[in-house]
Chains A and B, each alone.
Chain A
Amino acid sequence: MSSDSQASEGEVYSLNMGPQHPSMHGVLRLLLDLRGEEVIRAKPVIGYSHRAHEKMAENRNTLQFLPNTSRVDYLSGMIYNLGYCQAIEKLLGIDVPERAIYIRVIVNELNRIASHLLWFGTFLLDLGGITPFLYSFDDREEILDILDQVTGSRLTYCYGRFGGVTWDVDETFLTRATAFLARIRERLHMYKQLVTDNVILRERCTGVGVVSEALAKSYGVTGPSLRASGVAYDVRKAEPYGGYDRFDFEVPVLHEGDTMARFHIRIREIEESCKIIEQAIEAIPEGEILPKKMPKRFKLPEGEYYFAVESARGHFGMYIVGDGSDIPVKLKLRTPSFSNLSAMPETLAGTMLADTIAIVGSIDVVMPEIDR
């Protein structure tokens, strides 16, 4: 092995991919050492989309920080926005009305589906299939329309309020959401026939970029990427929050850990999210969407607190240090993409250049979420 590496030492060259590159999602930059087309070493460089959200949190009160949260991960902004609300509610002991709980679950899961659909499109774009991208965006557009109707925004929602949600949903919203579920199920069937069963896709994905269970655990990989490596960890099941324990859904797990497994997991998660939305629409009660009595200022008690939700990419945690005022001393955001990307250098070494694109695409990184 040593003689082999010595013999071809001179042939190794470096290739800079990104931050401006057609398939580096957002502004990821990869420094690759290549021998021919084989990747010897891959080094992700991050920080091109740093907006200092954590610092901003230290300079404004808890309510003023609310709009920032959905900007952290603009693809599943609703989950982040509501997750932050849920963290503050748990900290201050605010009770959320029943109707608001169900509304939150519905919009959260719609947002998760939208995020997975976008991933589906861009991942196949990375593999060179251009058409699925437009189909999945067409589906996603429907979700954005539905959410736009109730929240007023398409991506960077600020729908949550401490104790509930901003606006109530109406019958049109529920009917449209139900209609969408029927539509996406039909579409998923088509995607299975056209995309999942395609022999080229299977050849490109099966056995490529295997993240072993041990590797995933050691780097703190979470979300669909972890569940594809054989760990059944989902915050919604492990530490139920926001009423998720009332719904009957499965956490899909596969043990291969390869790109194909990550692909299957996300498709199945869309189906599971559909199941949750269906149950929530059926059971949604009438009533208030905000508690009657609310504190005027949301003062954080002294101490350190941690609260986590399951975003579309994995375990999103908020570590809050309070000192009795309504401005946090420190708000640390634990974003899943950062840990997921950290496992990449070890996974990418020894793969082909084309696989690098597929693997990075399959873990679904959102760069602004990593840089924050």
Chain B
Amino acid sequence: MPQTLTQLLDGSVLAMPIAAGLIMGMLTVNVLMLVWAERKVSAWIQMRMGPTEVGPFGLLQTLADMLKLISKQLITPSNVDKPLYHLAPLLAFAPVVAAVALFPFSESTILVQNDYGLLFVFAFGGIAVIAIFMAGWGSNNKYALLGAIRSVAQNISYEVPLILSALSVVLVVNAMGPTLSSGDGVVAINGLDLSHIVMTQDQQGIWFVVLQPIAAIIYFISALAETNRAPFDIPEAESELVAGFHTEYSGMRFSLFFFAEYTNMLIVSMLAVVLFFGGWDGPVLPGPAWFFLKSYAVIFVMMWVRWTFPRLRFDQLMTFCWKVLIPLSILNLLATAFVIAVL
């Protein structure tokens, strides 16, 4: 009996705490694993060992690091803008957690079913920019402010090609027919519903990366910029800006930013899987397993890119976005619309 978790818990007083606990638990484990994986992948690329001491294969190293960060004193530098400085880590942290809840891990494993899931994911991503700017402005530090300025410009610019490339997928989904047979019967197709996007790929037997290769590439590049990953890690370019917007943060406040950054990686990867790689679709293994396998494969490519390329300059980054990516994604969107209209 396919049922979303929301439906299972519907009416129960415990619904909210259980859902929140599930997400937090999953995300904490995910971040710990991702940090470990990043260190191992970078070590592998750089001919090093990576963490080996704590736990098998150094798996518990990040847990130890997290405990250290939690137990550290929270330092508030003098002359910071206190409300902004204190709120920023929380504001960076909350929306990414909320965004994860929207994803369909399989046909029946959806924490929060929302007809406009895609829009909500992008909206939550947009809030992170405000948090970064609050952190940079509130820190009363020139490096932090420079990092924040860069970050705002970069994130706002790269959201445009990111959303445009996702929109071409939405167009394709909507063109696949007026209705879609789901577990509950036949429903009206809705390209903004994340699970509908996956189900369409499932039923058509084709991943959208085949139908929309240009959109997939634009999405991936923009996603790197959106998550401030190398070669677009300009907001926190350590060789220029020390640590960018979170220069003045330490202890748990820093780890909240860190947590948000790595969860953001998971979100853009999961969205890439939903939009282009068929979501939970796959043989033998259960849906969620495929979903996470694919997501981590995308994350691996992101890490691979990070440890291979040098960093772009800020103006080059903006030029690349406005003069290459955005025109290209608009062209792609128009071409998609044209093809759909002709067919």
A134→B309 contact, CB < 8 A: no
Least CB distance from B39 to A in Å reads: 12
Name the interface residues of A1-42: CB closer than 8 Å to any CB of B.
13, 15, 21-23, 37
Least CB distance from A246 to B in Å reads: 38
B237→A198 contact, CB < 8 A: no
A125→B239 contact, CB < 8 A: yes
Q: Which residues of B contact A23 (CB under 8 A)?
A: 238-240
A200→B45 contact, CB < 8 A: no
**Majority SS of interface residues in chain B?**
loop
Q: Which residues of B contact A51 (CB under 8 A)?
A: none
CA distance A198 to B230 in the complex (A): 14
Given contacts A135-B47, A353-B146, contact A127 B239 (CB under 8 A): yes
Q: Which residues of B contact A198 (CB under 8 A)?
A: 309-310
Cβ of B315 under 8 Å from chain A: yes
Q: Which residues of A contact B161 (CB under 8 A)?
A: none
Q: Which residues of B contact A135 (CB under 8 A)?
A: 46-47
Q: Which residues of A contact B307 (CB under 8 A)?
A: 130-131
A-B contact count (CB 8 A): 77
Q: Which residues of B contact A251 (CB under 8 A)?
A: none
B242→A22 contact, CB < 8 A: yes
Contact of B45 among A131, A201, A203 (CB under 8 A): A131
Cβ of B248 under 8 Å from chain A: no
Q: Which residues of B contact A126 (CB under 8 A)?
A: 239
B308→A131 contact, CB < 8 A: yes
Name the interface residues of A113-155: CB closer than 8 Å to any CB of B.
124-131, 134-135, 138
Least CB distance from A229 to B in Å reads: 22
Cβ of A185 under 8 Å from chain B: no
Least CB distance from B321 to A in Å reads: 14
**Majority SS of interface residues in chain A?**
helix
- The number of chain A residues touching the other chain, given as a range, is 20 to 34
Considering the complex, give the chain B residue whose CB is closest to the CB of A14: B142
CA distance A332 to B282 in the complex (A): 74
A200→B238 contact, CB < 8 A: no
Least CB distance from A134 to B in Å reads: 4
Cβ of A187 under 8 Å from chain B: no
Contact of A138 among B47, B234, B242, B313 (CB under 8 A): B47
Considering the complex, give the chain A residue whose CB is closest to the CB of B308: A131
Cβ of A204 under 8 Å from chain B: yes
Name the interface residues of B278-331: CB closer than 8 Å to any CB of A.
307-316
Interface string of B129-143 (1 = CB under 8 A from A): 000000000000011
A200→B239 contact, CB < 8 A: no
Question: Which B residues are within 8 Å of any A CB, using their own CB?
Answer: 42, 45-48, 142-143, 146, 230-231, 233-234, 237-240, 242, 307-316
Known A200-B231, A352-B315, A354-B313; 10 more pairs at CB < 8 Å: A15-B142, A23-B240, A37-B146, A126-B239, A128-B230, A128-B311, A131-B45, A203-B313, A352-B313, A353-B314
Question: Which A residues are within 8 Å of any B CB, using their own CB?
Answer: 13, 15, 21-23, 37, 124-131, 134-135, 138, 194, 198, 200-201, 203-204, 352-355, 357
> 5 smallest A-B Cβ distances: which pairs?
A128-B311, A129-B310, A23-B239, A127-B310, A134-B46
14 pairs across A/B with beta carbons < 8 Å? Answer: A22-B239, A126-B239, A128-B239, A128-B310, A131-B45, A131-B46, A135-B47, A200-B311, A200-B312, A204-B312, A204-B316, A353-B314, A354-B311, A357-B239
